[in-house]
Structure 1
């Protein structure tokens, strides 16, 4: 889980494999000289685009396998009724994982579509269905809360959400999810990417050191580079 300090050997290897895949396909960007401003308002010298995975069949197959294993390990083999993708980046991940686990797939919109049935949840499910929400990444848990509330309002039971990548550095990142009783699981974070990048990544030493500085004190780094400070 995202709030677990130690990881098993299997989880660590899954993290490094995921980080290596993301670096290989060019999904990771180090840009300390021109920081990214995330939707949460934090300034960051790093950005990851997990949407790129859809264009790489072997990469997506491996990541889907790793996420499926994590879901089985933490949720159980017969304790999930459907996999839900969050609009829009989570939808392909939900499709791949649902297929691997032999489960129905649903997807949840950011808001009701505004016509027809005015549905926010698409797919077929029964009242009380136990679902897991999957998405590509999380910088904090705030964007997941809307999806969770929509699923619960529709009659689903949800206690877990999984992402490929979790920033894992900003303070209070999991507070919003913890407050509504949802645990966030993930495959890799920035520390994993930094570890792989130092070994064989495409970035120079200056960029790597800037990222290391950010990871050690993301709030100060954000404040000094045009982002939020608290």
Structure 2
């Protein structure tokens, strides 16, 4: 998966202006998984890897796939098609009232539902999506993402609290492990390596979050 991201130009490393991620952390690198959506070969390969990961990681096959608004929706659609499963999508927050205020596409009552998103930073958005599905009656035990930053604190704690097991196809360390023509340039590898050695300290020194605020679990 890391190689596909690199081939698709989805990995960006900045040597000057840091990226401020949605969770408030500063990072010298950013992954735009959405760039794979527009390339048939890359999206087919990524979807095939996701199907393999689902079959290997889940003790029971899901009964539906739910895409997280918005970037998780196309990946969920391709996975639902490959697995011949119903497709739903879940909003970041309720729209209207009622038990299914966050879930679109049909009922999830009593169903084992796999949550699908494109990436994960510290898991805060996964909490909202899991709650939305569970409030609609779904059993949600696993979340799949194509890329997991795997650097900042709080994510593992939050996922454990939610009772969610993460199935991630790639992380920054996987990106650094890619060799050959697709590998990052040495200058980018050095910047990324320094960041990974102390991501919280790097974030604090570059205008991002400096501490793990108590998250809403």
Task: Say whether the 8 Å CA contact 1:30–1:203 is kept in structure 2.
Answer: no
Give me the whole-angstrom Cα distance separating, in 2, the residues matched to 1:134 and 1:126: 15
In structure 1, the residue matched to 2:138 is 156
Task: Say whether the 8 Å CA contact 2:176–2:183 is kept in structure 1.
Answer: no
Scaled by the length of structure 1, the TM-score of the pair is 0.86
Shift of residue 54 of structure 1? 1.0
In structure 1, the residue matched to 2:126 is 144
Aligned positions, number: 211
Task: Say whether the 8 Å CA contact 1:160–1:185 is kept in structure 2.
Answer: yes
Shift of residue 49 of structure 1? 0.4
Shift of residue 86 of structure 1? 0.4
* Structure 1 unmatched ranges of 5 or more: 1-17
Shift of residue 125 of structure 1? 3.0
Instruction: Determine which of 157, 160, 165 is the counterpart of 1:183.
Output: 165
In structure 1, the residue matched to 2:205 is 224
Scaled by the length of structure 2, the TM-score of the pair is 0.91
In structure 1, the residue matched to 2:187 is 206
Shift of residue 40 of structure 1? 1.2
Shift of residue 203 of structure 1? 4.6
Task: Say whether the 8 Å CA contact 2:204–2:210 is kept in structure 1.
Answer: yes
Please state if 1:31 is matched with 2:14.
yes
Please state if 1:47 is matched with 2:30.
yes
Shift of residue 48 of structure 1? 0.2
Please state if 1:96 is matched with 2:78.
yes
Give me the whole-angstrom Cα distance separating, in 1, the residues matched to 2:162 and 2:28: 30
Task: Provide the alpha-carbon RMSD of the alignment.
Answer: 1.9
Give me the whole-angstrom Cα distance separating, in 2, the residues matched to 1:210 and 1:93: 30
Q: Which moved more, 1:103-112 or 1:122-131?
A: 122-131
Call closer, same or farther: CA 1:72–1:203 in 2, change over 3 Å. closer
